[in-house]
Structure 1
Amino acid sequence: MTRRNDKSNPRLAELIRLLKQTSRENEVEIWSDIASRLEKSRKNYAEVNVSKINRYAQEGETLIVPGKVLGSGVVEAGVTVAALSFSDAAISKITKAKGHCISIEQLLSQNPKGSRTRILR
């Protein structure tokens, strides 16, 4: 017997649907990749500390985290980070470094082509 993989969180279900639709309309693989990651079990979601963002991001870059951004570490580059959720410490550290914290939905509406964005997991 197969188990249903429907998400009970309406925001998440709508986000997955929107990501797939945008991917088809714009023929962009990055959105379908994010959707497939979010369709999996929550225990498989990415949990990224700001120290990892600091290690791999460059000034002015846009990153997508298909999960939660946590506040452990220091971030020095002013980057835009789109994620499913952020801890309070992560938000304060990213904004203190002249960066921006936005939701994946906001990034999707601002940049439907997904150009110049990277997935960080």
Structure 2
Amino acid sequence: MSKKSQKRVAKKTNPRIVELIGLLKETSHTENAPIWKDLAKRLEKPNRTHAEINLSKIDRNTDENEIVLVPGKVLGAGDLGHGVTVAALKISNTAKDKIESVGGKILTIEDILEENPSGSGIKILQ
């Protein structure tokens, strides 16, 4: 195979993401929960393809007390009219303040994985 025809494979350099991907795949297998395998595949892609979601999109696509998982970053644009639990790789300080001000809860993806290994009731927003 020539060098031109070889596909370049990106290697993750952030140790947190590398460890998280392994944990997601392992949990998916042990708990028979395909949501975690899907999330691992999304996180394996280049960082520039990771989601960047505004609070206005979360507000439009969720109801009170739902669990939302964002495979990327949550940004503070827009308003949130109800309390939701949000798990993401990163959350801006503005988004954090707005989520907590309406009674919402913020978790890391590792936290949500530990609290809900079966993945039931989680909505992924991309």
> Which one of 46, 50, 71 corresponds to residue 51 of structure 2?
46
Alpha-carbon RMSD across the aligned residues, in angstroms, is 0.7
- Match for residue 20 of structure 1 among 10, 25, 30: 25
Q: Which of 38, 60, 63 is the matching residue for 1:33?
A: 38
Q: Which residue of 2 is the match for residue 89 of structure 1?
A: 94
Q: Where does residue 67 of structure 1 map in the other structure?
A: 72
Select the residue among 3, 6, 31 that pairs with 2:8. Answer: 3
What is the rounded CA distance, in whole Å, between the counterparts of 1:103 and 1:6 in structure 2? Answer: 22
Distance in 2, Cα, partners of 1:5 & 1:109: 28
Tell me how far apart the structure 1 counterparts of residues 86 and 12 of structure 2 sit (CA, whole Å): 24
Q: Percent identity?
A: 49
With normalisation by structure 2, the TM-score equals 0.94
* Distance in 2 between residues matched to 1:105 and 1:96, nearest whole Å: 23
Count of equivalent residues: 121
Taking the aligned partners of 1:100 and 1:83, their CA distance within structure 2 comes to: 12
Which consecutive residues of structure 2, in runs of 5 or more, have no partner in the other structure? 1-5
Corresponding residue for 1:78?
A: 83
User: CA shift at 1:41, angstroms?
Assistant: 0.7
Larger Rg: 2
Per-residue Cα deviation, 1:66-109 (whole angstroms, up to 9, x for no partner): 00000000001100000000000000000001001110000000
Per-residue displacement from partner, 1:38-90 (whole Å, max 9, x unpaired)? 00011110000000011011001001000000000000110000000000000
